[in-house]
Chain A
Amino acid sequence: MLVTLEDAKKLIEKGKVLHIAADESLLEQLPKGNWIAGTTPYFITEQGGITCKDKLFVNEMDCAVEHKISVYDKDNIFDITKDSYSNGITFLVMPFASDVAVYFAKEAPNSGDLLMNPTVGWITGFDLSTDASAKVFDGSSGKSYGDKAVALHICLPDDKIANLGIVNIFNIDEGDTKIEFTEDTLSVKKCLINGKEMFLYDYILENKINTQLPLVADYNGTYINVSIKSVSEEDKTVDLYAPVFSGKVYRFSSPVSDYAVSFAEQLKEFKDLKPIFSCNCILNYLYGELEGKATPPFAGPVTFGEIAYQLLNQTLVYAVVTDK
């Protein structure tokens, strides 16, 4: 829910366990307490998408029977699975373009432990019309970081369990061109197009590919996106917001004519869901013109990357806590 600074302070002073998303100028004014936060001025609320620097989006973790807050860097980020509760959920926030976020993006899919410990969260961002930078906050110490990750580990009651899900409006045509990569990377030059080596840059140019559409890989029926960050004519490099992995087959997504309609179509099956957290991607917000448009039952920060066990792009991520 979107609240005023005063209301957020009251929740903290009551000792509530909170996940918060807001502009840095507001987060700096919060008292110490049981909270973590990340920076973004973009939100999708119950009333629709907004850009807002005078309110904070707060998730109250009423389901927590116990909690702890930990700070990580690139060298120990995968300790999150050691620190998490055996029956719990971990909320993770990492600053955009930080070393820890890049390392997590590349290595998380290789971690079996993450799948045993539901980890959900987001890559924090900033107002794209300014030269601000992304930050994360550890409310227990009051410290903020641009180069570290902060996690809120929640212990759930014995009769409850956490589950994560995604909503991806992008689709692929199985008959479409196969794109494969020879290494795990965030920056691509050459790749295999239907088995033939060529520059991805040339393929995009020659086929007039809309780079607002992500590359999509099929993970056993779940589509996982990789978004294009930039293409460089100078050195024929294509930079990505999440890594591509060798051994996976990618295809460019089929076009999406209306993001809000596509979300509405997919969200029908979730109407009775009561998520404790959700977030959606800044690229969906911008390309899909989601300002003023709601995605019920999901509301939350608009992010520079989404985390559901691993880093995702152009995806709505959610967490639920259900009875066992």
Chain B
Amino acid sequence: MDLDLVFKKLIKKQVNYQSDNLGLNLLITRLRSKYAKKPTPDELENCLQEMKAFFSKYSSILQKDIEMLKRL
């Protein structure tokens, strides 16, 4: 599945995914809380961009997570 779509579902709590990576778990928690406080398309897009930036920076250590997320 398209990762952007998975990220959006993750932020909206429509799917769950727990990582072994501390930073990713803290990010998911923060973005879910941020979006829950302001559930608008703009906020979802902001959260998505944060998630993409995190995965872009840490892609080398998040390969396992990326594969698992694609399967959601």
Contacts and interface: CB of A to CB of B under 8 A. Distances in A.
Interface in A287-324: 308-310, 322-324
Contact of A109 (B25, B30, B60): B30
Contacts of B50: 112
A165 B25 contact: no
A163 interface: yes
A220 interface: yes
Give chain A's interface residue range (CB within 8 Å of chain B): 20 to 34
B53 A161 contact: no
A253 to B, nearest CB: 18
Interface of B: 18-19, 21-23, 25-30, 32-33, 50, 53-54, 57-58, 60-61
Contacts of B53: 116
Nearest to B16: A220
B61 A220 contact: no
25 contacts: A109-B26, A110-B30, A115-B26, A115-B27, A116-B54, A116-B57, A161-B58, A161-B60, A163-B21, A163-B58, A164-B23, A219-B25, A219-B26, A219-B29, A220-B25, A220-B26, A220-B32, A221-B19, A222-B22, A222-B25, A309-B22, A309-B23, A309-B26, A310-B26, A324-B61
B29 A322 contact: no
Interface in A152-185: 161, 163-166
